């Protein structure tokens, strides 16, 4: 499967609330470049460290996808629903690496100010 198709399938699964975690390699690396920076190794650690974010996704829109070999950059817009407040929108830049038809690394950049404290 092409890098583009792997990344698109991940976002399709997110949007349709299907099991998107299978798009991730077991040994994946995740880096959040929001202060303070967070780095985790492995799908299980990623799932645990991002559980709150993923549980709040009401909608996701893939606005731009640039591909260069086994790497991709996605510009996305998430509508998030806080359990205790109104929904809000955030723009995210996501850098992917793909190996063996799965996401082997994911790095994200976004403004954390809209997030509830």
Dihedral pair phi/psi, residue 33, rounded to 5°: -90, 20
Q: How far apart are the first and last CA of the chain?
A: 40
Q: Which of 17, 11, 33, 26 is nearest to 77 (CA)?
A: 11
Contact 100, 81 (CB under 8 A): no
- Domains in the chain (CATH in brackets) are 3-110 (3.10.450.50)
DSSP letter for each residue of 60-86: EEEEEEEEETTEEEEEEEEEEE-TTS-
pTM metric for this prediction: 0.90
Burial class (CB in 10 A: 0-12, 13-18, 19+), 42: middle
Residue from 14, 110, 19 nearest 62 by CA: 14
Q: Distance of CA 84 to CAs 34, 58, 81, 112, Å?
A: 23, 14, 8, 17
Q: What is the pLDDT of residue 114?
A: 61
Per-residue pLDDT of the chain (117 residues; tens, 9 = 90+): 899 999 999 999 999 999 999 999 999 999 999 888 899 999 999 999 999 899 999 999 999 999 999 999 999 999 999 888 888 899 999 999 999 999 999 999 987 666 655
Question: What is the token pair recorded at 99?
Answer: 């190996």
């Amino acid at each position: 499967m092409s890098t583009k198709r792997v990344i698109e399938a991940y976002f399709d699964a997110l949007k349709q609330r299907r099991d998107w975690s299978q798009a991730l390699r077991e040994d994946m690396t995740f880096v959040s470049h929001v202060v303070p920076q967070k780095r985790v190794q492995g799908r299980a650690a990623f799932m645990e460290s991002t559980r709150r974010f993923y549980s709040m996704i009401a909608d996701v829109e893939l606005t731009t996808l640039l591909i260069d070999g086994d790497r991709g950059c996605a510009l996305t817009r998430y509508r998030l629903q806080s359990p205790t407040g109104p929904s809000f929108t955030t723009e995210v830049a996501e850098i992917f690496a793909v190996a063996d038809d799965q996401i082997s690394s994911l790095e994200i950049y976004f403004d954390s100010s809209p997030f509830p404290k």
